[in-house]
Structure 1
Amino acid sequence: MSEHSRTSKGIHRYTYEEIGERTRRLADALEGLGVTKGDRVATFAWNHHRHLEAYFAIPGMGAVLHTINIRLAEEHISYIVNHAADKVILVDAELLPLLENVKETLHTVEAFIVFGDGEDVPETSLSNVYAYEKLLAKSNPKYEFVKDLDENANAGICYTSATTGNPKGVMYSHRGIILHSMALGLADSAALSEKDTILPVVPMFHVNAWGLPFAAVWFGSTQVMPGPQFTPGILAKLIEDYQVTLSAGVPTIWLGLLKELESGSYVTESLRAVLCGGSAAPAAMIKAFESKYNIPFLHAYGMTETSPLVSVSTLKSYHENIEEDKKLAIRATQGLVIPGLEVKVTGSDGELERNGEDIGELMIKGSWIASEYYKDERTKDAFRDGWLHTGDVATMDEEGYIKLVDRTKDLVKSGGEWISSVDLENAIMDHEGVFEAAVIAVPHPEW
């Protein structure tokens, strides 16, 4: 039950008991800067131990954690800081220039706290800047977290990029985070437990690192944070050195790691699985991990609006004896819905048959699914009749496996049914029919 964090000075190691004390110190420091219940406090940082402390200090004092994607365009950084009305921003020292570039447009921020190893504030053109470690050193280690919080109160907010227009804010309640964390411990999802050592490669500014930091602390899993500017070689060495059992990231991360494993010599026997989401993973890559390196590959699906876990592609008990190519085909789907959620695929006439062939829009509802965008009129397009309309086009088979086919923005409608733009092009080339088509454009909510 510990945490290992890669920093500029090497690997920082400490226990959850120490994390608890520092988390309380941070909450006390934020209160001293005027942060109160309901205020938004932003983070602008990589994956490391100080960021983890903010994950618990901010919601613990009744404020709202706002993780800002450091890769957003400057105008979008300004927009979401002002839209969320962030009162304080905690920022990595090396990322200060990105905020300095937009400082004149940040209208609600009253203070900046700089994550770093020292107690001196780095040179910056920002005003009201504090050194993180210096603040913590003089703060109360026995600060008491708020005890009368409504479980439906907001604990966090993330912004998802839109196809057009400004990013959209998605609020997460304390209740939703708890239920989502519990779901990550289910045997047929990520199966987190105290025995695990977790390496969250997915950024902590991206849908709360898929909820892994919250769940790992709750279950007592050891966490290994990769820090800034990591490489596939660094990830492979962290897996080997700290006996990582579960890691999570997007397909490009696993492609890079796969190439590193093929070119180097690393011990990865500790890995019981890698969790992959964000976009479809190539079947060949899944096969390489499972066949060549004996690392189970968990293909998952979710969105910012879904906290994000919706489904994981696991095999059922009677799949163990089927042919390997059929197993791989199952692994390459988006999988089975996690208990606690409802999903359906709908067409123009309602819910479609679960036959693995009929395609329509995937719709989701459940206890950790958002019900609106924060102060955004686009809510009415995505949230209707209690369901999240994902904009993802999918099929569902009789076993319940979801398979994404395309985005609705890449499809056309013919006779009330969805047709892939690729299939349409082929049909036109083959002179197989004439289509009266209208392109359907739906914002793409990224995971």
Structure 2
Amino acid sequence: MDGLMQRRSLALPPVFHRAEQIFAHKTMVTVRPDGVRSVTIAAWAQRVRRLATVLDQLGLDTGARVGTFAWNTQEHVELYFAAPCSGRILHTVNVRLFTEQIQYVIEHASDEALFVEKSLLPIVWPLRNELPRVRHWVVIDDGSDVEIPTDERVHDYDQLLARAAPFEGRFEVDDENSAAAICYTSGTTGNPKGVVYSHRSILLHSMLNLMADHIGLSERDTVLPVVPLFHVNAWGLPYASVMAGATLVLPGSRTDPESILDLVERQRVTVTAGVPTVWNNAVPHLSRFDLSSLRIVVSGGAAVPVVLSEAWRVQAGVPITQAWGMTETSPMASFGSLRSHHDDLDTESLSMVRASQGQVLPLIDLRLVDTDSGAEVPWDGTSVGELQASGPWVASGYLGDGEGGDSFTEDGWLRTGDIAGIDSYGYIRLVDRSKDLVKSGGEWISSVDLENHIMAHPAVLEAAVIAKPDEKWSERPVACVVLHADELITGDDILNHLADRVAKWWLPDEVHFLDEIPKTSTGKFSKKTLRERFYPSDVNTPQR
């Protein structure tokens, strides 16, 4: 017997209509080159309706891919809703990819229109002859002095909106499983892979962000996504903020630490999110700003060192809360807020809990699998295995790639590539990426743990650990270290610092001091680049 409930689609149009109706008075703030601009949700919603008409006028049929090449702005959030609510598919292109990868993802996604901020035109317009599927180039004027090309395919965003009548009535998406958005992985080991999000997955993930033991977004919040809108739907924050009626603050292209902290102070931001590099670079400036409005600072994309989270707790009054996930998990799969069983822990123990990747989220299933035997590993807090995931906002394959090859198991679980342990409360502790573990003398060394210990040295700003080939031990760890300005220490100082923190055989064979650790397009340490730099003959060896 079926339940007697209405069969309404779990899709984005109801989120838009609710915000338009009951949160019309709330605001969306964007940082522009000429200052900060604020718009009401009522005015924003009218622009979304006009944009939907523009997509019709451009001849973009249902299911057409609409590409964006833009920072975190009001216009980008307009596209976040206008495209999927009108039946098209939003494709947010990572502006930090290599030129060849940008060309690849736009062509692979079959984008028919590309909405580009004017300041970013010099990156992508030279590729126009290599992108025959892109019929329309719509330029969003961000105040830069870049010249707009004279070409019949090029349109001005605001002029198109001004000439278009608003879409009338309610948007309808009948099939909740239809595609709403596409985001590509960072492509560190080959071409980026397209992950296709459904209306249902985005809606469920947005509701997750409103849960009390998660971010707990509410109408009273002011949300600043530092994570780019081109990266995994900005971790779902734009959709969730509109759903909750929270004020959305968008930094544009100004994501340097001082600009971000100034925004937090001036806009009284309560919730912000970004990768560890952002929060690490902000530490020297924390004391100069009033950050008392913050209730949560979320970090994801890489492990957060204890010393970094504690620096924020001591200086800003709020520790960094870790979340774990990936492009294929939309991205949230776990969250590091504290639970009642942590109430009696001391400060040091609490800091170690925050150093974990948090508790598995409702509706997400995780399992640990032994990489050798394939047997499932127990959640006992000490055993480790490959972390695999399943759930309603977890990908089942890649765009144009069938079943996704080795990334998915025979029974449909996502192989994350992370090696982890999970305790009996469901708290995840990442040991390493499988490809970044150092196997020395048959034993595993966690590059993440070793990096955390190195970054506990007061002179160290950043540290990345890679493996070097070794005839006797197979592999040995090597530390790449960036120091704080005006600090001067030696490799021996690093080794002495580690001596009573790790096993002797964990000590790095080499310590290289760098001006900067290379980053991927999403702000993570690019260990592949480091391996190519120091051990070029070993970069093509098969990955574990």
TM-score (norm 2): 0.75
Whether 2:355 is the aligned partner of 1:332: answer yes
Go from structure 1 to structure 2 and tell me whether the alpha carbon gap of 1:62 and 1:145 turns closer, same or farther (over 3 Å shift). farther
What is the match of residue 441 of structure 1? 543
What is the match of residue 60 of structure 1? 85
Determine the C-alpha separation between the residues in 2 that align with 1:431 and 1:309: 35
What is the match of residue 416 of structure 2? 390
Determine the C-alpha separation between the residues in 1 that align with 2:220 and 2:505: 59
Q: In the alignment, which of 194, 197, 202 is matched to residue 169 of structure 1? A: 194
Q: Is the 8 A contact 2:117 2:142 kept in 1?
A: no
Q: Is the 8 A contact 1:411 1:420 kept in 2?
A: yes
What is the match of residue 215 of structure 2? 190
Structure 1 letter corresponding to 2:543? A
Determine the C-alpha separation between the residues in 2 that align with 1:93 and 1:222: 26
Structure 2 letter corresponding to 1:309? M
Offset of residue 15 of structure 1: 1.1
Aligned-partner SS, 1:244: coil
What is the match of residue 307 of structure 1? 330
What is the match of residue 430 of structure 2? 404
Structure 2 letter corresponding to 1:395? G
Whether 2:344 is the aligned partner of 1:321: answer yes
Structure 2 letter corresponding to 1:392? D
What is the match of residue 60 of structure 2? 35
Aligned-partner SS, 2:435: helix
Offset of residue 17 of structure 1: 1.1
Determine the C-alpha separation between the residues in 1 that align with 2:351 and 2:345: 10
Determine the C-alpha separation between the residues in 2 that align with 1:126 and 1:251: 41
Q: In the alignment, which of 366, 374, 392 is matched to residue 343 of structure 1? A: 366
Q: Deviations over 1:381-426 (max 9, x none)?
A: 11221210001111111221101111111347899x9834769999
Which is higher, the Rg of structure 1 or of structure 2? 2
Q: Is the 8 A contact 1:410 1:420 kept in 2?
A: no
Q: In the alignment, which of 173, 180, 200 is matched to residue 155 of structure 1? A: 180
Determine the C-alpha separation between the residues in 2 that align with 1:345 and 1:18: 48
Query: Superposed, which structure 2 residues align to 1:21-420 within 5 Å?
Result: 21-116=46-141, 122-124=147-149, 127-144=152-169, 146-262=171-287, 264=288, 266-347=289-370, 348-376=373-401, 379-384=404-409, 385-411=411-437, 419-420=444-445
Structure 2 letter corresponding to 1:376? D
CA RMSD of aligned residues (A): 2.5
TM-score (norm 1): 0.91
Offset of residue 359 of structure 1: 1.6
Aligned-partner SS, 1:101: helix
Go from structure 1 to structure 2 and tell me whether the alpha carbon gap of 1:393 and 1:111 turns closer, same or farther (over 3 Å shift). same
What is the match of residue 445 of structure 1? none
State the number of aligned residues.
Answer: 432
Offset of residue 12 of structure 1: 1.1
Determine the C-alpha separation between the residues in 2 that align with 1:116 and 1:133: 8
Q: Is the 8 A contact 1:409 1:440 kept in 2?
A: no
Q: Deviations over 1:299-320 (max 9, x none)?
A: 1111000000011112111312
Structure 1 letter corresponding to 2:430? L
Determine the C-alpha separation between the residues in 1 that align with 2:357 and 2:297: 15
Q: Is the 8 A contact 2:206 2:239 kept in 1?
A: yes
Identity of aligned residues (%): 43
Offset of residue 144 of structure 1: 4.2
Q: Is the 8 A contact 2:322 2:355 kept in 1?
A: yes
Q: Deviations over 1:182-223 (max 9, x none)?
A: 001111111111110000000000111111000000110000
Go from structure 1 to structure 2 and tell me whether the alpha carbon gap of 1:241 and 1:414 turns closer, same or farther (over 3 Å shift). closer
Determine the C-alpha separation between the residues in 2 that align with 1:26 and 1:215: 21
Determine the C-alpha separation between the residues in 1 that align with 2:192 and 2:421: 28
Q: Deviations over 1:167-191 (max 9, x none)?
A: 1000000000000000011111111
Offset of residue 18 of structure 1: 1.0
Offset of residue 76 of structure 1: 0.8
Q: Deviations over 1:336-393 (max 9, x none)?
A: 0111111111112421011222221000000111110000257021122121000111
